[in-house]
Amino acid sequence: MTCELILGGARSGKSREAERRAVETGLAVTVIATAEALDEEMAARIRRHQADRPAGWRTVEAPLALADTLRREAAAERCLIVDCLTLWLSNLLADAHTLPAGATAEDLPRFRHERDALLAVLPTLPGRIVLVANEVGLGLVPETPLGRLFRDEAGRLNQMVASACRRVVFVAAGLPLVLKEG
């Protein structure tokens, strides 16, 4: 298995870089989409992403059970693009607003289970895996406790996934910068 993580800010070109890397493999490609069309604006974004992809690519939706989906879809002759880990994290933290003061995301059983399952399954998968995630730690400190929790967990998740990947790339202004190779 070859796993790589592509990080970047909003509209940085990270999804396009993931798609370019997938094409380079010459393998059949499946996009594992984590976004949910909960409003018209998000539905339009999803349609735009779908329209930009090559016609022969499959799309599988996995807003929560990402590890199970990866296990089911991974194959030696296939490249999987997960777009994106940040939206998946957001889906998992949907109930975080109910946490009492001082609690952390570790107090959310579904979050813990799904995150740990992802980290456990990544090294076992056949084929190529390209994970896309937002780098959210470069901006302002969020004003709300929930915003800070999300930012912190996104940073932790990116670090954990980066350590499990052979290649990590940061994309800014459509330009990839390799952070880790090997």
Which residues carry out catalysis?
Answer: 49
Strand-pair category, 78-83 with 58-61: unpaired
Does 8 show up as a binding residue in the annotation? yes
| Cα–Cα distance for residue pair 146/151, rounded to 1 Å | 9
127 labeled binding residue:
no
- Estimate the crossing angle of helix 109-121 against helix 145-164, to 10 degrees: 20
Q: Is 154 annotated as a binding residue?
A: no
Phi, psi of 169 (to 5 degrees): -130, 140
104 among annotated binding-site residues: no
Residues contacting residue 34 through CB under 8 Å, at least 6 positions apart: 61, 62, 63, 66, 82, 83, 84, 85, 87, 88, 91
Is 94 part of any known ligand binding site? no
Q: Is 35 annotated as a binding residue?
A: yes
Contact predicate 49/82, CB 8 Å? no
Residue 15 known to bind ligand: yes
- Is position 90 annotated in a ligand binding site? no
Residue type (1 letter), 120: A
Is 139 annotated among the ligand-binding residues? no
Annotated binding site for GTP: 8-15, 33-35, 61, 83
Residues annotated in a binding site: 8-15, 33-35, 61, 83
